[in-house]
Structure 1
Amino acid sequence: MTKINPKSLPGAERQHLNLGYMRLSDSAPLIVAQELGIYSKYGLDVSLHREVSWANIRDKLIAGNFDAVQMLAPMPLVITLGATGIRAPIVTGLVLSLNGNGITLAPPLWERMAELSGQPLQTNDPLATARAFAAALRENGKNQVMTLATVHLFSTHTLLLRMWLKAGGLDPDRDVRIIVLPPEQMVDSLAQGVIDGFCVGEPWNSIAVDYGVGVLASTGFDVWNNAPEKVLGVLEDWHTRNPATHLRLRLALMEACQWLANMDNREPIIEMMSRKEYLDLPANYLRPSMTGQITHDRGAQPRLQANFHVFSRYNAGFPWRSQAELILHQCEPLLGKVFDANRIASITQQCFRTDLYRETARLLDLPTPDKDYKTEGSHPQPFYFSEEIELGSDLMLCP
C-alpha cells in the first residue's frame, strides 16, 4: 500500500466528525481507525457514537447529528427511494464488511427439528436446516405461529432469513411472523420465548449460544456467500459540500480494513473493541466471529469459518452495482411493488458510488475493478475478476 502524504490531499472542509455505529463486531474498522490514529493521520478528529437501533442511525444521519455512519447495505437504496417513510438521498463509496450474520433458533425448536429429520443436523448445511425448520412448522400446524426477528426490515439479515425460509419451501410472508428488534434485544427475547429465532450480526449469536438459549442454525455466509453487509453511509448533499473530508474519511477506513485483513491483527482489536467506550462486552463474546472459530451450540467444538467477517479481502470495499440491483429486486416483496429496470439502474448508480471507491483505491495504490457489474450467484469458489483482483464465492441458497 502506498504511503500517502496527507498534506498532498485537498484540504478537509471539516476536521471534527461525528460517526454513528452499532454495538456489533463488524464495527471494527471504525474502532481500528480511532485506536491506531488513522483518522488523525488524515487530519480528522472523529467522535464515535454507539447507537442501539438502525432506525436511530438513519434518523440521526438525516437530522445532521452524524456526518457519516456504519449502515446496513440495503439502507442507502431504500432510504433514497423513500421506502422507510423518510426520503433522503444517501450515498456510499465504501463497503465496510461482508458477511457477519447468523440465524439462531431456540434449543427446544432445534431439538425437535433434529428429531423430525431423523439424524443430527449439520449447521453447515443451510438447506437441511431450512427443511427441518419447515417440518417443525408444519407439525405445529395452526397451534402456534412461529415468530422470527430481524434487525431492520430492509437489511441483509431480512434477505438472508427470507432466502433460508424459501429454501425450506416456506413463504416468508405467510408461513411465519417476522418482526424487527434491535440487535441488543435479540438474546433476551429468545430466552423469554417472545421469539423462536432471529437473524442478527455478531456477537449476539455467540452470546445466545454461550448463555445456552440459542443454537446457531446457519451462518449468513452459508446462506449467501460474501454478501455485502455494512457500508459507509453519508447524505448526498453532505458529500457534495465536503468531498475532501469524505475522501479522507474513506482513506482512513480503507486503511483500517486493510489492517483487519491480516488475521494476526484480530486478537489485539478484540481487546480494544471490548472496552467500555466501544462495545462494552467481554472479549470472549467477540472472539468467535473475529477469529472465525464459530461455536454453533453450547459445549460443541467450534467450526472454522475464516470468511465469517471479511473487511478487505476479495476487494470487499467495492460497492458493486450488480449487488445493489440484486438487493433492490429482493426488497420488492417487502416494498409491495416491482420497479422497472430504469428505476433500479438509476437508484443503484445514485447510491453505490463506484467512482468514489476508485478515487480512494487509486490513492492507496490498490487494484480496483474496471466494471461496475458482475455476474452474481454463480461462483462456488473464489475466482479472479481480472489478473489482479480475486473475488470471493457468491453462491446464494435461494436467490
Structure 2
Amino acid sequence: MSALSRRALLCGCAGLVAAGGVAGLADLARAAGADRADTGGALRIGYLPITDASPLLVAHGAGTVAPGIVDSAKPVLFRSWASLAEAFLTRQVDVVHLLMPMAVQLKYGLGADIRVLGWNHTNGSALTVAPHITEPEQLAGTQVAIPFWWSIHNILVQQYLRAHGLRPVIRRGASRSDRTVELIAMSPSDMVPALANRSIAGFTVADPFNAAAGVRGVGRIHRYLGDIWRDHACCALVVHQDLLDRRPEVAQALTDGVVAAQRRIDTDRPATAKMLAGGYLPQPLPAITTALTYPKPPPVRHPEWNPQRIGFQPFPFPSFTAALVAAMPDTVVDGDTRFLSRLDPQRVHDELVDDRFVRAALNRAGGAAAVGLPDSLTRTEEIDPS
C-alpha cells in the first residue's frame, strides 16, 4: 500500500475516518480485488472492541461456526473504523462487522466489491453526555464526538439535534448564540477519556463505551439511539463478493454460525459478557454486562421499543436500507458525498445485500420466529428524533 493511501485511511480528518473518500481510496479498493484474494483457507475475523462485534466473537469463542471456516487464531482487534476498513480492503482480514452506512460508502463511493450477508445486531448505541447536561439545548456551543462520518450515529444525532433547534456543523467552532454543535470524528476508545477531561461535551457510539462512561461516573446516557429509530441496524456482517462467488458453502457456514451465536447470546447475556471480557473486549466486565443487559435504564421516550436493549437478529430488512440511504444526503459529513446523488434508495438493498444465506440459516434455525421476527420478514420503519 502506498504511503498516501495509508495516510488517507488512518489520519483523522483527511482520511477515511473523517472524509470517507479522498484521492487514492478508489485505487485502494480496486487493489483489494480478486487477484489478491485468498480463495482457500479459513476466514480471518477483524473487529472493533464494541458489543456490536459480539456475534462474530461468540461464533469464534463458542465454536458455533463449523470447524475450518474461521481461523482458530484470535480475531484481530482494531481501534478505529479506518484501520478496520484498511485491513478489510487489503485482505488482511476476510470478514468484519462494518457500520451499515460505511458499507454503502465503501461500495458506491469507493467501488469496493463487497456484500452484506446480514445484520450483526440492532440498537446497542447511545448519546452519552457530561453529567451536568440534562437538556439537548445545553449542547449548543459544544463539541460532540461521533465514531465515523458514515455511521448511523452521525445520521441519528444530527436528526436529534435538528429536532431540538440545534444545527450540526463541522470544521468550525460551535456557537451557543447560533445554536450550533460541532461534530468531530473520534475513535471509540478515545471517547470516554475525552469526556472525562471535558474536551468534548458528549459522544455517540456503540456500547460498552456508553456503559463505561456511566460506570466511571464521567458521563450519563442522554438518549438511546434505539429510542430514535426502533431496532435500527448499526453494524452488518460484511465480506468480499468473491467469497460468495467462489465459496458459497463457506459463506453459508459462516452465516449459520453467526446466527447460532446470536441465539446463544440471547439465552444468557451475563455469560456472554464474561466470555467477551475473557480476552475479546478490553473493557471491564461490569461495563460489558451493563451494555448487554441495562437492568436499570434511564427514562426513555418509547419504552415499548426497548431501546436500551441491544438486539441480536440477523435479517437485513430492505425497508431499513431504503430509509437509511434516503437519510444519508441530509447528513453533514466531512467528505465527498457526490456518489449519493446517484443512488436510488429502493435499489441499493438488492445491490449491496445478499440475504440468501441468512434466509437459509433462519430456515435451519426453525424460521423467523426463532429470532423473534414475523414470518413475512417485512416491517415498517419507526423513526422519532424528537
Which TM bucket (shorter chain)?
0.7 to 0.9
Quote the offset at 1:137 in angstroms.
Answer: 4.9
Give distance in 2, aligned partners of 1:240 and 1:345: 24
Give distance in 2, aligned partners of 1:45 and 1:14: 12
- Which of 319-328 and 33-42 deviates more? 33-42
Match of 1:152 in 2: 148
Match of 2:214 in 1: 209
Q: Deviations over 1:102-136 (max 9, x none)?
A: 1111123x1xx4xxxxxxxxxxxxxxxxxx322x3
* Unaligned stretches of 5+ residues in structure 1: 1-11, 114-131, 139-144, 298-303, 369-382
Match of 2:53 in 1: 27
Give distance in 2, aligned partners of 1:229 and 1:328: 13
Give distance in 2, aligned partners of 1:280 and 1:350: 36
What are the residue-to-residue correspondences of 1:66-215 with 2, within 5 Å? 66-82=93-109, 86-108=110-132, 110=133, 113=134, 132-134=135-137, 136-137=138-139, 145-173=141-169, 175-215=180-220
Match of 2:83 in 1: 56
Match of 2:275 in 1: 272
Match of 1:320 in 2: 317
Structure 1 residues 21 and 294 mapped into 2: Cα distance closer, same or farther (>3 Å)? farther
Residues 157 and 200, structure 1, Cα contact 8 Å, conserved in 2: yes
Quote the offset at 1:286 in angstroms.
Answer: 0.7
* Identity in percent: 22
Structure 1 residues 384 and 278 mapped into 2: Cα distance closer, same or farther (>3 Å)? closer
* 1:395 pairs with one of 356, 376, 382: 382
Quote the offset at 1:344 in angstroms.
Answer: 3.2
Residues 17 and 44, structure 1, Cα contact 8 Å, conserved in 2: yes
Give distance in 2, aligned partners of 1:243 and 1:33: 19
Q: Deviations over 1:202-240 (max 9, x none)?
A: 111111112221111111111211111111011223332
State the aligned residue count. 328
Q: Deviations over 1:347-387 (max 9, x none)?
A: 3211122233223323434238xxxxxxxxxxxxxx985xx
* 2:329 pairs with one of 327, 332, 355: 332
Residues 319 and 353, structure 1, Cα contact 8 Å, conserved in 2: no
Structure 1 residues 280 and 338 mapped into 2: Cα distance closer, same or farther (>3 Å)? closer
SS across alignment from 1:98: coil
Match of 2:350 in 1: 349
Give distance in 2, aligned partners of 1:33 and 1:367: 20
2:272 equivalent to 1:258: no
Q: TM-score, normalised by structure 2?
A: 0.77
Counterpart residue type for residue 162 of structure 2 = K
Quote the offset at 1:160 in angstroms.
Answer: 1.9
SS across alignment from 2:205: strand
Residues 115 and 239, structure 2, Cα contact 8 Å, conserved in 1: yes
Q: Deviations over 1:186-209 (max 9, x none)?
A: 001111222111001111111111
Give distance in 2, aligned partners of 1:43 and 1:23: 22
Residues 20 and 51, structure 1, Cα contact 8 Å, conserved in 2: yes
SS across alignment from 1:17: coil
Q: Deviations over 1:171-194 (max 9, x none)?
A: 224721101111110001111222
What are the residue-to-residue correspondences of 1:275-286 with 2, within 5 Å? 275=278, 277-286=279-288
Q: Deviations over 1:293-319 (max 9, x none)?
A: 25559xxxxxx958611002xxxx111
Give distance in 2, aligned partners of 1:391 and 1:261: 22
Counterpart residue type for residue 330 of structure 1 = A
Counterpart residue type for residue 269 of structure 1 = T
- Which of 322-331 and 288-297 deviates more? 288-297
SS across alignment from 1:329: helix
Structure 1 residues 28 and 342 mapped into 2: Cα distance closer, same or farther (>3 Å)? closer
Larger Rg: 1
- Which of 93-102 and 166-175 deviates more? 166-175
* Unaligned stretches of 5+ residues in structure 2: 1-37, 171-179, 300-304
Residues 292 and 306, structure 1, Cα contact 8 Å, conserved in 2: no
SS across alignment from 1:38: coil
